[in-house]
Chains A and B, each alone.
Chain A
Amino acid sequence: MKTALERINEVVSKDLSPWKERTIERRKKRDWTDRSNKIAIMILREIRKQKPINGMTQKKLADEMDVTPQYINKVVKGKENLTLETVSKFEEILGIRLLEVPSSKASPLKQEEVIAVSKSGAIPIVKYELEYTNEFLSDSTGKYG
């Protein structure tokens, strides 16, 4: 008599789950997606905050940035490897600071330097940014180049 496992193997789909392939891709990109995800969250929160005030949506943001809504959607999913030029454009249109570069390489960033500042207040992502920043600054493994 066949076991349940043998019966499953008779009906199992010929296609494997794409999970492992996706995971390999995600692991390869982690160095920068850690940051692109944080930027995505800050943009999403700002869109949500501004929506009742000025009708901001991903579509409106796309129009103002002269890019496609698909591009904005890729950014807010943390999947876009952003250039500094694009980051600056987001900052200008949304009126928030998304990236800060430490002014002195030797000293760690102060908390207030990594708070995401918006017109209407600060987004509380400080501890995560600090965690990241410390790892970045100590970079003993050369992980960040």
Chain B
Amino acid sequence: MEIVSIFGKRLFAFKYPDETEDEFSRLFNLWNDPEYLEEFFETNISDLQSGYWSNPSVVEAVLDTLRYAEHFEDILFELSEDNEDKHLNGLESIFRPLFDSSYRVLKFNKSKVRDNWLRLYALRIEKDVYIITGGAIKLTLKMQDREHTNIELSKLEKCKRFLLETGIVDVDGLIEEIES
């Protein structure tokens, strides 16, 4: 497992051994790929048309996703062009806690970027420092509801363990952080 810099000095992504690219780059490739999206929405058509979203057709869903990805990518691209101070404000404003309460006070905040059904998942290592662990097209309410989103929860846990085991983040440091 590798950690790859995306832009600036504080935004990173994991690159898993079975993938050729880091998660951030891999996801945007998929979200810009009509063939992948058509297959994805066709496979998940019952979730797509369950009423959780506005019952779009597969064609509408693909076109919407291409537009969301473009918009999402534009925001991140503009951030990448800004100076480091603006990066930080920008990142803090687009990453939100994935779960309520406790994760906010832990050094590890599981966070995500929201834009309709597109999700990027990240571990918040310390203030203003994020590592992207993966992402999903989230068509159901809970991540646990579907295998493809549940996998993302496992990836978050796996990455957290990796950071602890490699000593990048200190367990004692975490405890002190909670107690302070």
Cβ contact within 8 Å between B59 and A18:
no
Residues of B within 8 A of A22 (CB): 25, 28-29
Residue pairs across A and B with CB atoms within 8 Å: the count is 113
Q: Digitize B55-68: 1 where CB-to-A-CB distance is under 8 Å, 0 elsewhere.
A: 00111101100100
Cβ contact within 8 Å between A20 and B35:
no
Interface segment among B10-18, B46-54, B111-119, B145-153: the answer is B10-18
Residues of B within 8 A of A78 (CB): 32-34
B129 within 8 A of A: yes
A77 within 8 A of B: yes
Residues of B within 8 A of A7 (CB): 167-169
Q: Digitize A24-58: 1 where CB-to-B-CB distance is under 8 Å, 0 elsewhere.
A: 00110010000001101100110010000000000
A30 to B38, alpha carbons, bound, how many Å? 19
| Contact residues of B: prevailing secondary structure | mixed
Q: Closest CB of chain B to A45's CB: distance in Å?
A: 6
Tally chain A residues at the interface, Cβ within 8 Å: 35
A44 to B23, alpha carbons, bound, how many Å? 26
Residues of A within 8 A of B98 (CB): none
| Contact residues of A: prevailing secondary structure | helix
Q: Digitize A1-28: 1 where CB-to-B-CB distance is under 8 Å, 0 elsewhere.
A: 0011101110111011111101100110
A128 within 8 A of B: yes
B131 within 8 A of A: yes
Residues of A within 8 A of B3 (CB): 8, 11-13
Cβ contact within 8 Å between B169 and A37:
no
Cβ contact within 8 Å between A5 and B10:
yes
B24 within 8 A of A: yes
Residues of B within 8 A of A38 (CB): 63
A13 to B4, alpha carbons, bound, how many Å? 5
Cβ contact within 8 Å between B168 and A8:
yes
Q: Digitize B114-132: 1 where CB-to-A-CB distance is under 8 Å, 0 elsewhere.
A: 0000000000011001010
| Contact residues, B142-180 vs A (CB, 8 A) | 163, 166-170, 173
Chain A residues engaging chain B, CB cutoff 8 angstroms: 3-5, 7-9, 11-13, 15-20, 22-23, 26-27, 30, 37-38, 40-41, 44-45, 48, 73, 76-78, 123-125, 128
Given contacts A4-B125, A8-B12, A16-B4, 6 further A-B contacts (CB under 8 A): A16-B7, A17-B24, A48-B38, A48-B42, A76-B34, A78-B32
List 28 A-B residue pairs with CB atoms under 8 Å apart, sorted by A's residue number. Answer: A4-B169, A5-B9, A5-B10, A5-B125, A5-B126, A7-B169, A8-B131, A11-B166, A13-B2, A13-B4, A13-B5, A13-B15, A16-B7, A17-B7, A19-B6, A20-B77, A22-B29, A26-B32, A37-B66, A40-B35, A41-B59, A44-B35, A44-B38, A45-B38, A78-B32, A123-B59, A124-B59, A128-B60
Closest 7 CB pairs of A and B: A19-B25, A40-B34, A7-B168, A17-B6, A44-B38, A76-B35, A13-B4
